Amino acid sequence: MADARHTLLETMQDLMSNYLVDECPDHVTWEDFDPDIDGLRSTVIDLLDKSLSPTAPADIVTYVVDVDFYSGDDRFATEVFTIDASTPEGAQHRALSLSLDSIYNDPRIPDLSRTAAVKSTDDGAGDPE
């Protein structure tokens, strides 16, 4: 049963990733092109990680995610989110989802796009800058 579940999750992840690679324009992030599919893909990746180590609970880490807002090539704002997640990708996806409600996510802004940069706060290294 575990092998069938793992195979199904791998197939789902491959199908969603291939869809995004094939259909998403080069200048658009997957999160902006199809946030639902990208969110499901991130969830499947988390499930795959858990299925590889079913007895070990997923470690929850606190991440700081900087979401940058662009008009064309010009960054005009950055919003910082603190997210608890099991993976950096999960934190990134959650921050991008939250940024949809930001005052900076205004459809009147020409060529609006967003990017997210993730860093862990639980690694003990602190913030070097």
- Confidence at 80, pLDDT banded by 50, 70, 90: very high
Does 127 reside within a domain?
no
> Model pTM greater than 0.85?
no
Q: What is the Cα–Cα distance from 122 to 125, expressed in whole angstroms?
A: 8
DSSP letters spanning 8-42: HHHHHHHHHHHHHHHHS-TTS-HHHH-HHHHHHHH
26 in a structural domain: yes
Give CA–CA dist 27/29, Å, rounded. Answer: 7
Are the CB atoms for 77 and 120 separated by under 8 Å?
no
Q: Return the pLDDT at 123.
A: 52
Domains held by the chain: number:
1
The pLDDT of residue 81: 94
Q: Tell me whether residue 128 is in a domain.
A: no
The answer to the question of residue 66 being in a domain is yes
**Interval 29-78: pLDDT, tens:** 877 888 888 888 878 777 777 766 655 556 778 999 999 999 999 999 99
17, part of any domain: yes
Residue 32, domain member (yes or no):
yes
Minimum mean pLDDT range among 8-17, 52-61, 108-117, 120-129: 120-129
| Contact (Cβ atoms closer than 8 angstroms) between residue 108 and residue 100 | no
The domain of 53 spans 2-120
How far is the first Cα of the chain from the last one, in angstroms, to the nearest whole number? 48
The pLDDT of residue 56 is 53
Distance CA 94, CA 91 (A): 5
Long-range CB pairs of 15-18, under 8 A, 24+ apart, other chains included: 16/40, 16/41, 16/44, 17/41
| DSSP class per residue in 90-109 | HHHHHHHHHHTTSTT--TTS
* In-domain check, residue 62: yes
Q: Is residue 67 part of a domain?
A: yes
For 4, the 3-state DSSP assignment is helix
